[in-house]
């Protein structure tokens, strides 16, 4: 390790850019395909309907729960465990003219008749379909606004090759995070949307630091090749990147394991986003900039001609 760091290239990150590029391309394609076929498993915040949390005295048999609900004309119910095998979530599509309390009573009576154990209602939530559609529209606008503002900032902040690399890294992170929730069919609710916006901010912050160091290294070392320059810049920012990522991940792991089911999706999105955002800052942004031919001449500050410099000093 010490011998590598003593060279001008420092750690040879760009030696593996081809392999990493292929892996990223495959993951992006898989995410897009899953989003097209499976779509996102929208939570009650977006779909509207009634959500019931039911607690059993012993472990609940989900197949029997579904059967009991089918017999009570709730064949559209989505049933899943929630935290433990004794707790289940039941999600129902909107029903006109039926109050949430009435649905809860009917379902609870059906389950008590099916299971010879104590069954209790923990909570009931109702979201109308109009509110769900409004959440989808506002959430999409929030994400679009954040992306547009970031794109404008990057375009003004950096030379266009580095800017394209930063934007590509950001798009990579968003697509893969959405793909994770689509492939695993994890519930996508407002907390996950908030986590996705936080991932966008974290990813672009990390990428801006890397791109800024690449620009400084290009200006500082004239004899290095572009690949050597990028390797040196990435090595110089490695300690900062690892410290920031690891401390963030430690906090998110605590939320993931101890925060409870309500923020499980939030912690999952942030955990994945931080990891993939760190990776994209190193490989996606830098690789794209190199592909577009970034060089020292492109990043040198323009020379400012001093007043009177073109005049003859003898006159």
In the predicted structure, residue 300 carries a pLDDT above the cut 60: yes
Q: How many other C-beta atoms can be found within 10 angstroms of the C-beta atom of residue 250?
A: 9
- Mean predicted lDDT score pLDDT of the chain: 84
pLDDT tens, position by position, 273-290? 999 999 999 999 999 989
Residue 26's pLDDT is 97
Minimum mean pLDDT range among 33-42, 91-100, 206-215: 91-100
Quote the pTM value.
0.77
Average pLDDT of span 91-113: 80
Q: What is the DSSP string of 252-294?
A: HHHHHHHS-GGGHHHHHHHHHHHHHHHHHHHHHHHHHHHHTT-
pLDDT tens, position by position, 54-66? 888 888 888 888 8
Q: Which of 126, 138, 121 is nearest to 94 (CA)?
A: 126
| Overall residue count recorded for the chain in this entry | 315
Distance (Å) of CA 152 to CA 146, 160, 165, 198: 10, 12, 14, 18
In the predicted structure, residue 185 carries a pLDDT above the cut 50: yes
Residue 21's pLDDT is 93
Residues 6+ apart with CB under 8 A from 42: 132, 136, 187, 188, 189
Domains and their CATH numbers in the chain: 2-40+132-299 (1.20.1640.10), 49-127 (3.30.70.3400)
Average pLDDT of span 32-36: 96
d(CA 232, CA 220): 11
Residue 2's pLDDT is 40
Residue 172's pLDDT is 94
> Hey, CA dihedral for 134, 137, 138, 140, is it positive or negative?
positive
DSSP 3-state of 315: coil
Residue 130's pLDDT is 60
């Amino acid at each position: 390790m010490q011998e590598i760091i003593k060279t001008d290239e420092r750690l040879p990150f760009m030696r593996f850019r081809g392999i990493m590029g292929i892996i990223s391309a495959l993951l992006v394609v898989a995410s897009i395909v899953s989003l097209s076929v499976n779509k996102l498993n929208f939570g009650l915040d977006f779909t509207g309907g009634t959500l019931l949390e039911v607690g059993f005295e012993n472990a609940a048999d989900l197949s029997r729960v579904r059967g009991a609900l089918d017999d009570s004309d709730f064949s559209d119910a989505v049933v899943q465990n929630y935290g433990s095998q004794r707790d289940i979530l039941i999600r129902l599509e909107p029903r006109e003219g039926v109050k949430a309390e009435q649905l809860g009573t009917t379902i609870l009576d059906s389950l008590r008749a099916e299971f010879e154990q104590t069954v209790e209602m923990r909570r009931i939530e109702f979201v109308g379909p109009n509110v769900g559609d409004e959440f989808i529209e506002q959430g999409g606008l929030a994400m679009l606004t954040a992306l547009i503002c970031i794109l404008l900032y990057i375009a003004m902040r950096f030379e266009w090759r580095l800017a394209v690399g930063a934007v590509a890294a950001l798009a990579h992170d968003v697509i893969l995070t959405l793909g994770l929730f689509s492939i695993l069919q994890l519930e996508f609710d407002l907390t996950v949307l908030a986590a996705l916006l936080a991932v966008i901010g974290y990813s672009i912050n990390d990428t801006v630091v890397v791109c800024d160091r690449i620009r400084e290294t290009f200006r500082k070392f004239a004899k290095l090749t572009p690949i050597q320059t990028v390797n040196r810049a990435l090595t110089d920012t490695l300690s900062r990147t690892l410290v920031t990522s690891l401390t963030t991940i430690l906090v998110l792991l605590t939320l993931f394991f101890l925060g409870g089911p309500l923020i499980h999706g939030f912690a999952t999105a942030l955990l994945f986003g931080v990891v993939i955002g760190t990776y994209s800052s190193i490989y996606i942004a830098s690789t794209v900039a190199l592909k577009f031919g970034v060089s020292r001449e492109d990043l040198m500050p323009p020379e400012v001609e001093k007043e009177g410099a073109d005049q003859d000093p003898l006159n």
